Structure 1
Amino acid sequence: MLSFLPSLMLAQVVTAPLPPIQAEYITQPQEIRPLPGQLNDVPVFNSNSPEVVVGDGILLSTYPQEGKYDPRAHLNKPLNGRFDFFSHHIARPFDSRLLYQGVLVSNPSNRFVRVKILQGASYLTSPDAPFVELPSLVEDPKGQVFSGPGSRLMSSILRGKSQTSFPSQIIIGPGQTRLLFTLPIPRSNARSTYLRLESDGPVYMANLAMQAIQELPETIASAKEQKPTPPKLRPPSQADWEALLVRGRLATPRDKAPTPPEQIQRSAYSRPIYGRVAGISLGSEWKGALLDRPGTNVLSIPSRGQSFSYPLSTLDVGTHGTSQIQSAPMLARYPDTAYLANGNYGVHYQLDLPLYNGTKSRQSVSLSLQTPLKQDQYKDRLFFLSNPNGQVFFRGTVKVSYQDDQGQVQDRYFHITQRQGQMGSPLIMLNLEPGEKRHVSLDFLYPPDATPPQVITVKTEELYYGGLLRR
């Protein structure tokens, strides 16, 4: 029997024919619809390759190639106006020195340029956000529930939080360079960072990695003192970062090179390597109104006992029969990195569901986020595992806004942890009267260290529950 194999951070995704339906598999007959909406046109400085950093090197540079020791490390792509910054890297340096991440921003114009940091946050695995076992669904009104730096980062950005360690703005003189930040990444730690930025002129940006600088020991003043002086270590200065930008190489070792898109087949034995992202992707938000059809203003709930779903963060393989690929295109990239921003890490999904009960009876309707088994063959069913106990495929926070059955406006946050093939529990349950329309919105930023796709599912329950199951 062929099985579904998990993938970690999209380094490689495997798809296989659906196995014969046996006791461990649950088939859920239902309609699967393409997700309405589209990505916006905000560029994202998107740095995730190489994911594991072992020493000094250039992770991602949009600077011109002229005058650089390693021209292939520079993409010659200026940024201007609204753009975002996302990075996720793990430190495993060759020696015991602390690894640092530094970001340079340069102004190539002949006038001053202002770069505003509209929002920014950055977290380490330890001590900020260790990976911990959590229940599959936890309500989290204060942002105190997370597992891993990607989970905590997306929760903070979703809630509009910004760390005070980032400046509110930097002003760069004509032809000058500023250091946006230097942050440590201790050994075996991951650091996830997201910034929302806005400039009033073109800038170049580089994300660099460097170990602590070892200074020469001081000269021994007395011949009687023969004890060796231990070397002093310090964080890299702006001058150190600028020297690395000019004289450094593209960071190595490189991740696996991706399969060219034209070679990816949706056949039973397709094994594409998506690669990791390093470049400028196009799209920081996906906004969509989930409607019966274009031109209408309602989303009619399904018949009692029925449901329909919309896939989220789909890739070339695993579209659940919709053939919809949501991955952001790349405006610039290194040749050995991903052709698309697979997984849409950090993309803010904002979905509006104007639920409408067009029946003549009161109905109970639930909204769920689910992680079905990945497949491309069917758009009239989902497949789950009766005992999902494998790899975690999603750990992150979603916000649900709606008017409850008492007419009160609710903004609720839930942290979700789901494994491959997990059906998931309802986030909310609403009771709709005949002819009633109720707006629900779902917001989340797709978290790093997750494996897409997921689906959002609307279900009309078999029975009308009154207020008994109201959360």
Structure 2
Amino acid sequence: MLSSLLPFVLAQGIAIPVIPPPPSPSIPTEPIAPQSPQELVVPQRVRPLTGKLDNTPVLNSNNPELIFNEGIIISTLPSIGMGSPYAHLNYAFRGRFDVFAHHVVQASPEGRTLYLGILLFNDSRQPAKVNVLQAASSLTSPDALFIELPPQVENPDGQFFSGPGSRVMDRVLRGQRQALYPAELIIPPGQAQMLVNNPLPVNYRPDPTQPPPLKLPRNGFSAYFRLQTDTPIYGASLAMYAPKDAQGNERPPTLAEWQQLLKTANLMTPRDRIPRNSQRRIYSRVAGVSLGSTWIATLTDNDTREQLNIPQSGQAFSYAISTIEGGLMGTNQKQAAKMAVRYPDTAYESHGNYGVHYSLTLPLHNPTSQPQQVSLAIETPLKFNEGRDTLTFLVPPAPNVFFRGTVQFRYNNDQGTAQNRYFHLVQKRGQRGDDLVTLTLKPAEKRTVQVDLLYPPDATPPQLLTVRTR
């Protein structure tokens, strides 16, 4: 664990003891061939989650994921008077709503800076007050590089993250609002304001004596906002190259320039892959308004009991998180958020539920006459659809990362002391999860564990929350 953390903690200026590497062997050895993963099949039942998504609408800006042009990514404004009516979905947000954006920007051959703008428009005859409850955004570089972290590391202060999605969801999970975002916006009647007006810089400066490289560098951006409005408003996500001042220097776009782009621009191209429900399924990415930002559930044995009997000794069961069409894990439960409005060539549902807050209460109960040791873990087995009583893992796991994010556990430990612990997890395809929380329950004891996470962008669903008795 320490050796894998060493480069990161040194970069953060954290003092740790230096452990010298073991001496090199004096006898030459044959190169070790990469180990082929072996399938590990374990008996383990997957249960559906109780509860359901709420109806909070989410302005969901994720298609196209890769942007390297100006244009409208998504607009929920009315189409009347717009240059490209088909680019506007005519959906007003009322009360609580969220905004999610996750994109990758590619450098332009000319080295121009692209800006991402999220605009809120008040079409009513009275001022609109928008409360910014939580807010976070992050670039991959320089804010949140994809660095290698251990499969799990305790993360009490949010100092561990890998990628912008991981960092943004950690901040919102902790109820934070970044200082660059105001606590509220007041939007006059018939006017707009920018929620986001952020540059997406890419470290590339063209050499006029050389042709541009075949593969231009990229940078990522993630953002999530929890908002409350007292007046119906519309929203839009846009991209624009930085205008230049009289001296030829780039400057941020003005509100008027964003509004002009919104009125005259087309829907951004090139588009992402078109969704397809067939043997070779294409989920596509989301552009529209998805319905649901929170899944609250109390996990019990049935609807009438207020407890969850732990598994028998040596056994385990799991609950699926973020199930999707074709990956129901035998639960027959599709958790993907429905779309209130969408563009015809984008995802049918919010596959992956990026940004959705899973808030799960487990009232654990030991029904036996002996003390029992029970543990909780997050796992990423191989995806399947139809029902079965086994899970398949890979040993070692595949190299591709399927989950990067923070999970919160709240409970009383065996000494009765309240615990509030955060873990940053990195899980690869087919990875069996290590124990995160271990408790010893006395005979007939009941103890509640609260598990919370915001499903992070760049994750590949589904994952499992596993309860295991030793």
TM range (shorter): 0.7 to 0.9
Deviation at 1:378, TM superposition (A): 3.5
User: Does the CA contact (< 8 Å) of 2:37 and 2:394 recur in 1?
Assistant: no
Determine if contact 1:53/1:93 at 8 Å carries over to the other structure: no
Q: If the length of structure 2 is used for normalisation, what is the TM-score?
A: 0.88
1:448 aligns with 2:462: no
Partner of 2:438: 429
C-alpha distance in structure 1 between counterparts of 2:69 and 2:107, whole Å:
5
Query: What CA distance in whole angstroms lies between the structure 1 residues aligned with 2:183 and 2:304?
Result: 42
Is contact 1:322-1:379 (8 Å) kept? no
- 5+ residue gaps, structure 1, are 1-21, 218-230, 265-269, 462-471
Q: Which amino acid aligns with 1:57?
A: G
Q: CA deviation at 1:36?
A: 1.1
Map residues 310-325 of structure 1 onto 2, 5 A cutoff.
310-325=319-334
List per-residue Cα deviations over 1:198-236 (Å, max 9, x = no partner): 11011111111001113466xxxxxxxxxxxxx332111
The equivalent position to 1:160 in structure 2, one of 175, 193, 205, is 175
- 1:238 counterpart residue number: 255
Structure 2, unpaired ranges of 5+: 1-35, 203-217
Mapped partners of 2:340, 2:280: distance in 1: 25
Question: Residue type of the partner of 2:254?
Answer: S
- Residue identity in the other structure for 2:126: R
Cα distance in 2 for partners of 1:331, 1:23 equals: 42
When structure 1 is superposed on structure 2, of 385-394 and 299-308 the one drifting more is: 385-394
1:358-381 deviation per Cα after TM superposition (whole angstroms, max 9, x unaligned): 011110001000000011233311
What is the CA RMSD across the aligned residues, in angstroms? Answer: 1.2
Q: Deviations over 1:419-465 (max 9, x none)?
A: 0000010111100111000000100000000000000000001xxxx
Structure 2 SS opposite 1:213: coil
SS at match of 2:244: strand
What is the aligned partner in structure 2 of residue 394 from structure 1? 403
Matched, 1:84 2:98: yes
> In the TM superposition, what are the counterparts of 1:319-358 in structure 2 within 5 Å?
319-358=328-367
- Which structure 1 residue ranges, 4+ long, deviate > 2 Å from structure 2? 214-217
Aligned-partner residue type, residue 60 of structure 1 = I
For residue 461 of structure 2, give the secondary structure of its aligned residue in structure 1.
coil
The AA in structure 2 aligned to 1:433 is K
Cα deviation, residue 319, structure 1: 1.1
Q: Distance in 1 between matches of 2:90 and 2:354?
A: 23
| 175-184 vs 80-89, which moves further | 175-184
- Aligned partners of 1:154 and 1:346 also within 8 Å: yes
8 A Cα contact 1:319 1:376, kept in partner: yes
Matched with 2:39 is 25
Alignment of 1:145-184 (within 5 A): 145-184=160-199
**Residues in 2 aligned to 1:382 and 1:417: alpha-carbon distance in whole angstroms:** 19
Q: Of 369, 385, 394, which residue of structure 2 is paired with 1:376?
A: 385
State the partner residue of 1:103: 118
1:207 to 237, 252, 262: 237
1:386 CA displacement: 1.4
Looking at structure 2, the residues matched to 435 and 401 of structure 1 have their Cα atoms a distance apart, in angstroms, of 21
Whether the 8 Å CA contact 1:55–1:93 is kept in 2: the answer is: no
- Residue 52 of structure 1: CA displacement? 0.7
Q: Report how far residue 160 of structure 1 moved.
A: 1.1
Partner of residue 305, structure 1: 314
1:275-295 CA deviation, whole Å, 9 max, x = no partner? 100100000000011100001
Distance 2:132 2:330 in 1: 40
1:258 aligns to what? 275
Q: Is residue 196 from structure 1 mapped to residue 211 from structure 2 by the alignment? A: no
State the partner residue of 2:55. 41
Q: 1:171-206 CA deviation, whole Å, 9 max, x = no partner? A: 111111222220011121111000110110111111
The aligned counterpart of 1:129 is 144
- 2:254 paired with 1:275: no
Residue type matched to 1:251 in 2? M
CA-to-aligned-CA distance 1:32-66 (integer Å, 9 cap, x gap): 11111110111111100110111210011001111
Question: Which segment drifts farther, 311-320 or 206-215?
Answer: 206-215
Map of 1:220 onto structure 2: none
- Give the whole-Å Cα distance in 1 for the aligned partners of 2:84 and 2:292: 29
Counterpart CA distance in 1 for 2:186 and 2:177 is 20
User: Which range is displaced more, 84-93 or 345-354?
Assistant: 84-93
Question: 1:57 maps to which residue?
Answer: 71
Q: Secondary structure in 2 aligned to 1:85? A: strand
